[in-house]
Structure 1
Amino acid sequence: MEIFYILVFGAMAAVVAALELSKNSKDRINTSSAFNTFKNNYLLVYSLMMAGDWLQGPYVYYLYTTYGFSKGDIGQLFIAGFGSSMLFGTIVGSLADKQGRKRACVTYCITYILSCMTKHSPQYRILMVGRILGGIATSLLFSAFESWLVAEHNKKGFEQQWLSLTFSKAIFFGNGLVAILAGLLGNLLVDTLGLGAVAPFDAASCFLIIGMVIIITSWGENFGDSSESKDLLTQFKGAAVAIASDEKIALLGAIQSLFEGSMYTFVFLWTPALSPNDEEIPHGFIFATFMLASMLGSSLASRLLARSAKVESYMQIVFTISSASLTLPIVTSFLVAPSNVKGGGMSFAGYIQMLGFCVFEACVGIFWPSIMKMRSQYIPEEARSTIMNFFRIPLNIFVCIVLYNVEAFPITVMFGMCSIFLFVASILQRRLCVIADSQRPKPQEWTDMKERDPEDEPLNA
């Protein structure tokens, strides 16, 4: 069993290293020193923010169990977090357009630090407050930072193509390398040093404080629509009108909700899928392998974006592949005889599913920088944070429903549902591609573009 994990992990690491080292001039974007300084500053902050988030993820459920809460109680805490992200997070995130994106990023740090502090209390009400604060912080993490980056990038007059470089690097480091290192640090704090399940949350607070100091001292402020005459309700109406009046924005929101909803459902399902009979599986090692697969995807995305590949086209293929990868639990349930033996190592079906899950995580790595690129193209600047948080409303509703009914359906049904959603996302992506192509200005004929010289007219007569 250990040999299988080592082989998969080693293969992933070798491919990622080979992709990064084999980049040639076509895979690299020539930039300026001013942009590199700006990019590196953002990557440092984003990595610190993601470290604060990744350190908490693997230990939230475990911490609640150490406090003696039942599975039902823990489920309610998780639902409170996603519900808070949908309700309060949408409001707070929308204020970023009016009050400033830098302030929203600082608010994220403060809110998440307070959420981490509540983890020291075993009282259910205080933990519930912490989940609500965490939900608000999550909305800000996935809207305010990207909104600030796009606005600041444009304000400084950098090339539009350079934005995709920042996106791909942010996912490579923040959602890949930092996630792996955070998992190793969390394991060191909890298991090796024996500091308890709350230690990763304290470490997360330290990273968030460092990032907040960098934001305060080095970031400029930017706004969406700072008009004093527009209240929050007017902002919501304006965002709703923008979504309803532009099919591209509506399609982008639907695609994002379908993919992210399937992704968050996968987070809850992969453990029972790989260990249906309580098999002993190395969760940390598997998580690190998934993150390596995500890094592989982000590395592929950086190549595609550097070569000016049309995002709308290749994402159709990515959604189709991701849909197929999540059908493996269904396929193996029919082709491989289930084992009723409790404990032991991962089954043969589990090995096959893990390979499919790595493919899905690679698609996740491609998805993030690509969806960021499309959002920067289609979402209007004046309501960017508001619209991005609107996109998260159906996502959070979907995840809350899944969490509430997670034991009501067989795991194969849940994976089938995710696969269908991803296939629908590929269809919607095709529609987005068609609309984008139809609205792009067509190249004029050379004879129409060429200015005629009046002195040539007699010669042509």
Structure 2
Amino acid sequence: MEVFYYLVFGGLSAIVAVLELSKTVKDRVATSPAFNAFKNNYIVVYSLMMAGDWLQGPYVYYLYSQYGFDKGDIGRLFIAGFGSSMLFGTIVGSLADKQGRKRACITYCMTYILSCITKHSPEYKVLMVGRILGGIATSLLFSSFESWLVAEHNKRGFDPQWLSITFSKAIFLGNGLIAIVSGLFANFVADTLGFGPVAPFDSAACFLAIGMAIILSSWSENFGDPSESKDLMGQFKAAAVAIASDEKIALLGAIQSLFEGSMYTFVFLWTPALSQNDEDIPHGFIFATFMLSSMLGSSIASRLMARSTLKVESYMQLVFAVSAFTLLLPIISTFLLAPSDVKGSSISFGGSIQLLGFCVFEVCVGIFWPSMMKMRSHYIPEEARSTIMNFFRIPLNLFVCIVLYNVNAFPITIMFGMCSIFLFMASVLQRRLMVVADIYKKPQDRAGLKENDAEAEALV
């Protein structure tokens, strides 16, 4: 079955190379030298930030187990990370709108570096502090950098359409190529060089420090609405009112939570799904294949978003529907295909079908990230962008904590079925978002909605 893995990986590599090299004039957007310099600077920083995150992933669980902690102890550490992101991360991330997005990005670097340092201690309490710091950093990573980019892009007067270029390139590199290289590099420093499982965390701290130096030397500060003088509770109230009074924002938050909740659940479930009878599967190679699939998705997204006649709201309905079907494959294969009865054998035929489906799901993930970023740049108000984006992550983190706590309570087919339902719901809500967005474009309806927005703002 090793030939099967190589065929999948080689095929995906060829497709990605062909897509990138065969882009036509329609797929490329004419930009300015100033924008290219700005875009490249952001992509370098974002890639370093993501390297700092990806380097830690392969060895977190292994490091905890090497310190002698069992599955229950490790599970509580992971729950602490997501819980911290939900509670403390929301507060710290929301401060970015008032205190500055550049400061928030620097805070991310410093917080994550401190989290990496705690990995040197075998003490459970110290590791718990590290997970809490890591949860805060995660909220900053997925809100402050995007908020800074959108505000700075608009402040410099660049074409709004060019944002999609930065988004797709950042995801292609940061969530694709960098993830693959980080996994290989982590394995190199930990195992090949023999520095042990703490080495990837030290490497991550170095990359984060380099990125922080670039931010300090080349980024300017930007804020939410400088005319506002709200305290933190006022920001939360304004964000809540914005979500409640604008159906587009509420729909966007629901869609994001449904998709990302299913995605993070998939991260926990793909290994037992492919090795239900302890089949011998190459975890690192499969992870690299998933990341390559995500790169393929971001490459497809860049082509789709380059066409002004094609709406993001339109094609994302299909993306969510396809992703819902792919996570049904473990259920279908369980009922239609006999499982392997040889423990420790190579991946079964049913597992191979699931692997192909999971690769398609990762393609959908690659399309989702830049497309969601573009929709957020359209619909989320600038004055509370970071606060609203962190509000979106509250149900996501709550859902992941519940899944982690009950991961052994339900059969794996039930978990995948639940995720598939969530993704189908996301497709339905995406359809509703497109309808609402089209209505908003009508002058008479837009005027009415603006009156509603004004009334909502008056309540704050």
- TM-score of the superposition, structure 1-length normalised? 0.95
Shift of 1:436: 0.7
SS in 2 for 1:59: helix
Q: Does 1:199 align with 2:175?
A: no
Q: Structure 2: how far apart are the matches of 1:193 and 1:114?
A: 24
Q: Which amino acid aligns with 1:170?
A: A
Deviation track 1:160-211 (CA, whole Å, cap 9, x = no partner) reads: 0000000000000000000000011011112211211111000000100000
User: What RMSD over aligned residues (CA atoms) do the two structures have, in Å?
Assistant: 1.0
SS in 2 for 1:280: coil
Q: Which amino acid aligns with 1:292?
A: L
Shift of 1:442: 7.3
Q: Structure 2: how far apart are the matches of 1:51 and 1:201?
A: 11
Shift of 1:377: 0.1
Query: Given the superposition, is the C-alpha separation of residues 302 and 228 from structure 1 closer, same or farther in structure 2, using an over 3 Å criterion?
Result: closer
Q: Structure 2: how far apart are the matches of 1:262 and 1:119?
A: 28
Match of 2:395 in 1: 394
CA contact (8 A) 1:225 1:382 kept: yes
Q: Structure 2: how far apart are the matches of 1:194 and 1:423?
A: 46
Q: Structure 2: how far apart are the matches of 1:127 and 1:277?
A: 32
Q: Structure 2: how far apart are the matches of 1:438 and 1:384?
A: 23
Structure 2 unmatched ranges of 5 or more: 445-460
Match of 1:184 in 2: 184
Shift of 1:2: 1.2
CA contact (8 A) 1:99 1:226 kept: no
Match of 1:421 in 2: 422
Match of 1:412 in 2: 413
Deviation track 1:44-94 (CA, whole Å, cap 9, x = no partner) reads: 000000000000011111111111101000000000000000000000000
Q: Structure 1: how far apart are the matches of 2:246 and 2:255?
A: 15
Q: Structure 2: how far apart are the matches of 1:327 and 1:193?
A: 41
Q: Structure 1: how far apart are the matches of 2:167 and 2:375?
A: 11
Q: Which amino acid aligns with 1:393?
A: I
Q: Structure 2: how far apart are the matches of 1:57 and 1:225?
A: 36
Q: Structure 1: how far apart are the matches of 2:227 and 2:129?
A: 33
Q: Does 1:12 align with 2:12?
A: yes
Percent identity of equivalent pairs: 79
Q: Does 1:349 align with 2:358?
A: no
Match of 1:93 in 2: 93
Match of 1:361 in 2: 362
Equivalences for 1:314-333 in 2 at 5 Å?
A: 314-333=315-334
Equivalences for 1:77-92 in 2 at 5 Å?
A: 77-92=77-92
Q: Structure 2: how far apart are the matches of 1:377 and 1:299?
A: 21
CA contact (8 A) 1:75 1:403 kept: yes
Deviation track 1:95-141 (CA, whole Å, cap 9, x = no partner) reads: 00000000000000000000000000000000000000000000000
Deviation track 1:22-62 (CA, whole Å, cap 9, x = no partner) reads: 10100001000000000000000000000000000111111
Match of 1:457 in 2: none
- TM-score of the superposition, structure 2-length normalised? 0.95
SS in 2 for 1:30: coil
Q: Structure 2: how far apart are the matches of 1:227 and 1:28?
A: 38
Match of 2:153 in 1: 153
SS in 2 for 1:68: coil
Q: Structure 2: how far apart are the matches of 1:35 and 1:379?
A: 23
Q: Structure 2: how far apart are the matches of 1:431 and 1:366?
A: 20
Deviation track 1:205-255 (CA, whole Å, cap 9, x = no partner) reads: 010000000000000000003457310000000000000000000000000
Q: Structure 2: how far apart are the matches of 1:227 and 1:191?
A: 53
Q: Which amino acid aligns with 1:331?
A: I
Shift of 1:153: 0.1
Equivalences for 1:236-275 in 2 at 5 Å?
A: 236-275=236-275
Deviation track 1:379-400 (CA, whole Å, cap 9, x = no partner) reads: 0000000000000000000000
Q: Structure 1: how far apart are the matches of 2:123 and 2:366?
A: 37
Q: Which amino acid aligns with 2:156?
A: K
Match of 1:304 in 2: 304
CA contact (8 A) 1:97 1:226 kept: no
Q: Which amino acid aligns with 1:403?
A: L
SS in 2 for 1:194: coil
CA contact (8 A) 1:85 1:135 kept: yes
Q: Structure 1: how far apart are the matches of 2:375 and 2:356?
A: 29
Equivalences for 1:27-38 in 2 at 5 Å?
A: 27-38=27-38
Q: Structure 1: how far apart are the matches of 2:393 and 2:63?
A: 27
Q: Report how many residues are paired.
A: 443
Q: Structure 1: how far apart are the matches of 2:164 and 2:14?
A: 24
Moved more, 345-354 or 369-378: 345-354
CA contact (8 A) 1:31 1:162 kept: yes
Match of 2:51 in 1: 51
Match of 1:455 in 2: none
Q: Structure 1: how far apart are the matches of 2:66 and 2:176?
A: 29
SS in 2 for 1:276: coil
Q: Structure 2: how far apart are the matches of 1:98 and 1:313?
A: 34
Q: Structure 1: how far apart are the matches of 2:5 and 2:298?
A: 22
Match of 2:107 in 1: 107
Q: Which amino acid aligns with 1:147?
A: S
Deviation track 1:388-440 (CA, whole Å, cap 9, x = no partner) reads: 00000000000000000000000010000000000000000000001111112
Q: Structure 2: how far apart are the matches of 1:380 and 1:141?
A: 19
Q: Which amino acid aligns with 1:344?
A: S
Q: Which amino acid aligns with 2:2?
A: E
Q: Structure 1: how far apart are the matches of 2:246 and 2:439?
A: 14
Shift of 1:345: 1.0
Q: Does 1:376 align with 2:377?
A: yes
Match of 1:128 in 2: 128
Structure 1 unmatched ranges of 5 or more: 444-461
CA contact (8 A) 1:98 1:227 kept: no
